[in-house]
């Protein structure tokens, strides 16, 4: 592994350095809004094939870096690689999102095993190794996984859902059984993230996209507990690697999340008030976020104004510019270029 990490300004906020302009990357910065991504996606055949082909996965990770020069690249993969590697059947239907054979009983759960994950996790780690070699020296590489709660919502429901009801019902009906699923996903995530760091990831993000659907006692048990364990174990193996949590939709529970998980940074969704982001960053926490992905579709002066507003609010604080959620497919790439230029236009 190479390593003049001091050149990677993305890492500065984690070292307590305020950086102006703030480092920038965007969730889902690789993907369908880029024509060059669509081309590689067709070449790969299926979405999972793309995730498990290091040459192609590395290529689509690099595409947005070449175009926009973000301060960090995020490994191209998906949160559902973990259940797939554990032995669940996972498919991505074109234009329809993920489909999984649902795991809803302990017998279903017994068919999944940590011992099966080796070969698929190694392919992802091979992508990370390639990336650390091929990325510009100054670009940080972010590895990631889904948080156990969010991954469980797909594992149990078998697809994306509006209210995550299948997982929430299981958690109420049979908390001990559901805990077994969460424990398995937690252990797999620890192995997966540790492998990514060994392969060269500079920082990690834990995506908890459905953290906002839980009552506070359930949030404590299914979001904070497992995330805290991942942070503790990964940090014990790899001290110093920053870990960012993204508890989407849970701004009201943010303080407890930060204290309970001891993440190094939090990614804030679009509905999180700027005032709360400021307050959190003033307490020494690295904050990331939170431009509305739909404003990036609209573009124009309104985009410039909001970029300026977020930047001004977070000036002098440990802050990383990002969206409040992933880029949507109908985003014009020119608007992304406009955003980066605007952000970097002045100190
Ligand atoms: O056909 C395609 O190209 C599929 C579109 C796509 C892409 C580009 C999917 C299917 N996943 C990805 C890549 C991906 N997913 C990345 C790559 C790196 C990047 O550029 O950021 C990451 C970090 C993810 C994470 C992910 N996958 C999350 C967490 C973040 C979020 O957006 O909330 C979730 C919930 C998923 C599941 C998933 N994968 C794909 C889709 C369409 C979905 C959402 C399904 C749903 O709930 O309806």
Whether the Cβ atoms of residue 263 and residue 255 lie closer than 8 Å to each other: no
With a Cβ cut-off of 6 Å, ligand 1 is lined by: 27-32, 41, 47, 74, 76, 78-80, 92, 97-98, 144, 146, 160, 207, 209, 326
| Pairing outcome for strands 265-267 and 243-247 | parallel
% the chain with pLDDT above 70: 99
Read out DSSP for 242-284?
A: -EEEEETT-GGGHHHHHHHH--SEEE--TTS-HHHHHHHHHTT
Q: Is the pLDDT of residue 181 over 50?
A: yes
- The residue behind tokens 């000036």 is 315
Atom of ligand 1 nearest to the CA of 248: 33
Q: Is the pLDDT of residue 35 over 90?
A: yes
Q: Is 32 annotated as a binding residue?
A: yes
The confidence band for 94, taking pLDDT boundaries of 50, 70 and 90, is confident
> 97: which strand partners?
93
Atom of ligand 1 nearest to the CA of 209: 33
Second-level CATH architecture of 5-344: Alpha-Beta Barrel (3.20)
Backbone φ, ψ for residue 202 (5° rounding)? -90, -25
Cα 31 to chain centroid distance, Å, stands at 14
C-alpha 30 – ligand 1 centre gap (Å): 10
- Residue with the smallest CA separation from ligand 1 atom 22 is 78
Q: Is 78 annotated as a binding residue?
A: yes
| Pairing outcome for strands 286-291 and 319-323 | parallel
The per-residue pLDDT for 61 is 98
Where along the chain do its domains lie? Answer: 5-344
In what helix (H) or strand (E) does residue 203 lie, and over which residues does it extend? Answer: strand 203-208
The per-residue pLDDT for 95 is 79
Q: Is the pLDDT of residue 184 over 80?
A: yes
- Residue with the smallest CA separation from ligand 1 atom 48 is 160
The confidence band for 347, taking pLDDT boundaries of 50, 70 and 90, is low
Which residues are designated catalytic?
28, 32, 41, 78, 154
The per-residue pLDDT for 119 is 96
- Residue with the smallest CA separation from ligand 1 atom 20 is 28
Atom of ligand 1 nearest to the CA of 77: 17
The confidence band for 343, taking pLDDT boundaries of 50, 70 and 90, is very high
- Residue with the smallest CA separation from ligand 1 atom 6 is 31
Summarised one tens digit per residue, pLDDT across range 204-249 is 999 999 999 999 999 999 999 999 999 999 999 999 999 999 999 9
C-alpha 76 – ligand 1 centre gap (Å): 9
The confidence band for 96, taking pLDDT boundaries of 50, 70 and 90, is confident
Q: Is 119 annotated as a binding residue?
A: no
- Residue with the smallest CA separation from ligand 1 atom 13 is 78
Q: Is the pLDDT of residue 176 over 50?
A: yes
Atom of ligand 1 nearest to the CA of 51: 13
Q: Which of 31, 76, 250 to mutate to test the pocket of ligand 1 (most atoms within 8 A of CB)?
A: 31
Q: Decide if the complex's ipTM is over 0.85.
A: yes
The per-residue pLDDT for 1 is 43
Q: Which of 26, 43, 49, 78 to mutate to test the pocket of ligand 1 (most atoms within 8 A of CB)?
A: 78
In this prediction, residues 177-195 reach a mean pLDDT of 98
Summarised one tens digit per residue, pLDDT across range 43-86 is 999 999 999 999 999 999 999 999 999 999 999 999 999 999 99
How far apart, in whole angstroms, are the C-alpha atoms of residue 293 and residue 281? 22
Summarised one tens digit per residue, pLDDT across range 103-140 is 999 999 999 999 999 999 999 999 999 999 999 999 99
Q: Is 29 annotated as a binding residue?
A: yes
């Amino acid at each position: 592994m190479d390593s003049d990490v001091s050149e990677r300004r993305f890492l500065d906020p984690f070292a307590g350095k305020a950086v102006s302009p703030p480092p920038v990357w965007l969730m889902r910065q690789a993907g369908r809004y880029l024509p060059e991504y669509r081309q590689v996606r067709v070449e790969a055949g299926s979405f999972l094939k793309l995730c498990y082909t290091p040459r192609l996965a590395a290529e689509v990770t690099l595409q947005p870096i070449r175009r926009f020069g973000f301060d960090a690249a995020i490994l191209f993969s998906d949160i559902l690689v973990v259940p797939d590697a554990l032995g669940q059947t996972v498919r991505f239907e074109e234009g329809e999102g993920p489909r999984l054979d649902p795991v809803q009983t302990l017998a279903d759960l017994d068919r999944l095993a940590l011992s099966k994950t080796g070969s698929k996790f190694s392919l992802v780690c091979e992508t990370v190794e390639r990336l650390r070699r091929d990325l510009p020296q100054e670009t940080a590489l972010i590895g990631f996984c889904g948080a156990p709660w969010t991954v469980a919502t797909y594992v149990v429901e078998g697809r994306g859902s509006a209210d995550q009801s299948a997982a929430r019902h299981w958690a109420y009906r049979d908390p001990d059984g559901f805990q077994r699923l969460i424990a398995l996903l937690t252990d797999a995530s620890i192995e997966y993230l540790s492998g990514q760091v060994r392969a060269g990831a500079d920082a990690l993000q834990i995506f908890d996209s459905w953290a906002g659907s839980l009552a506070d006692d359930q949030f404590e048990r299914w979001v904070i507990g497992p995330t805290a364990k991942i942070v503790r174990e990964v940090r014990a193996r790899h001290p110093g690697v920053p870990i960012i949590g993204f508890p989407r939709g849970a701004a009201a529970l943010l303080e407890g999340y930060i204290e309970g998980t001891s993440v190094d940074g939090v990614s804030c969704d679009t509905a999180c008030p700027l005032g709360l982001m400021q307050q959190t960053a003033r307490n020494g926490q690295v904050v990331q976020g939170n431009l509305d992905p739909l404003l990036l579709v609209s573009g124009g002066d309104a985009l410039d104004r909001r970029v300026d507003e977020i930047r001004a609010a977070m000036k002098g604080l440990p802050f990383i510019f990002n969206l409040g959620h992933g880029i949507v497919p109908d985003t014009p790439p020119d608007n992304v270029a406009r955003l980066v230029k605007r952000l970097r236009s002045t100190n």
